[in-house]
Amino acid sequence: MSDYYLKGEERFGYFMSIAYLAVTKIGSYKKFSKFIAEDIYSSKANTIIDIGTGPASIPIEITRLYKNKISIFAVDPSKQMVYIAKRRTKKYKNINIEIGSSRKIPFERKFDIIFSSLSFHHWKEKEESLRYLKGFLRKNGEIRIYEYNKSRLSKIHAPISQHSFSKEEFEKIGKSSGMKTKIKISGEFILARFTN
């Protein structure tokens, strides 16, 4: 697959990738990153993969919590985003980033946790991607999807409303993909855990 995007999926070129990197430095994103990193850290996972890693802010945050004692893999369909992510993680020997997507994982291994943050809403074929990804889970592994909680957003949050899901939407997607779903809501954040 030379193009990792499906028709209709938002593409991140050079300027969009730089803009996204700038967004990761604002307070609300940092709060979200911390929520995700702490949630993954509490799982005591040994190997994880970030799908749609962007500029690799979450893998960096997780690495800091684990003090480099975890294997982190990450993929993104944007060549420009992967370039930025690799530059930002050069000093972290435990982070391995390649071009890939929710439909094409370039690593031949299984993971304790497969996760995605603020990327799931971009996936054109969500159920199909979940079915593909579960083949990369270790026994008792989980797919964790982190997005904004739709029920907590107001009209002033219109710019991020496309990054939001409701409990019911996640449960429907889980059922359609043949996976068990557990939802955790923490204020403006929502986490869907998908298991076999």
Report the Cα 4 to chain-centroid distance in Å: 16
Q: Which two tokens stand for residue 164?
A: 């939001």
Q: What is the mean pLDDT of each run of 10 residues along the chain (196 residues)?
A: 70 73 73 91 95 94 90 95 95 96 96 95 93 96 93 54 83 96 91 95
**Per-residue pLDDT tens digits for 150-167:** 876 554 444 555 668 999
Strands 111-117 and 95-99: unpaired
The class level of CATH for 14-195 reads: alpha beta
Dist. CA 195–CA 30, nearest whole Å:
27
Helix, strand and coil in the chain, % to nearest 5: 40, 30, 30
**Per-residue pLDDT tens digits for 26-40:** 767 788 889 999 999
**Predicted pLDDT at 2:** 52
The residues, ordered by sequence, that sit 6+ positions from 37 with a Cβ below 8 Å of its Cβ are 58, 61, 62, 64, 65
Dist. CA 146–CA 65, nearest whole Å:
18
Domains of the chain, by residue range, sit at 14-195
Tell me how many degrees the CA angle 118-102-193 measures, rounded to the nearest 5: 60
- Sign of torsion over alpha carbons 92, 41, 123, 28: negative
**Predicted pLDDT at 121:** 87
**Predicted pLDDT at 26:** 72
**Predicted pLDDT at 18:** 74
Mean residue pLDDT of the chain comes to: 88
**Predicted pLDDT at 158:** 47
Whether the pTM exceeds 0.85: the reply is yes
**Predicted pLDDT at 39:** 95
